[in-house]
């Protein structure tokens, strides 16, 4: 994901904004990312991704999501259509269907 791609599609919160918020505010828990322009408070698709970004920050790792914006948006659209709450897969889970 590039810095200007949106992590929170509901409120158009970019990866750059999330990174800046994490680095500036250093929130103690991932749920505080909601203070970053409402990230994660809409459809909640991005919550596991926000938690991952928070975890990366805490571990001193680069704050990044290795997924294409197109895959991310397509899987969110399916999530919205299904009305379900399946956990999005990330690179760490070993699943490649969301990753390029």
Q: Are 63 and 22 in contact (CB under 8 A)?
A: yes
Does residue 98 form part of some domain? no
Give me the half-sphere count of Cα atoms (radius 13 Å) on the Cβ side of residue 73.
9
Residue at 57 is within a domain: yes
- Asked if residue 22 belongs to a domain, the reply is yes
Examine residue 100 and state whether it is found in any structural domain, yes or no.
no
1 occurs within a structural domain: no
Task: List CB contacts of 49: < 8 A, sequence separation 6 or more.
Answer: 7, 65, 88, 90
In this predicted structure, the answer to whether residue 94 has a pLDDT above a threshold of 60 is no
14 in a structural domain = yes
**Average pLDDT for 87-92:** 50
Cα–Cα–Cα angle for 40, 55, 52, rounded to 5 degrees:
45
Q: For residue 8, count other CB atoms closer than 10 A to its CB.
A: 27
Say if residue 22's pLDDT is above 60: yes
Structural domains in the chain (count):
1
Task: Give 34-74 pLDDT, tens digit per residue.
Answer: 998 999 999 999 999 999 999 999 999 999 999 999 999 99
Q: Which domain holds residue 60?
A: 6-93
């Amino acid at each position: 994901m590039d810095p200007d791609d949106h992590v929170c599609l509901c409120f158009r919160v970019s990866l750059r904004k999330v990174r800046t918020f994490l680095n500036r505010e250093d929130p103690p828990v991932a749920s505080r990312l909601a203070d970053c322009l409402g990230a994660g408070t809409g459809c909640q698709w991005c919550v596991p991704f926000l938690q991952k970004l928070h975890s990366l920050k805490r571990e001193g790792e680069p704050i990044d999501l290795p997924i294409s914006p197109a895959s991310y948006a397509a899987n969110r659209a399916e999530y919205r259509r299904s009305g379900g709450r399946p956990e999005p897969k990330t690179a760490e889970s070993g699943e490649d269907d969301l990753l390029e």
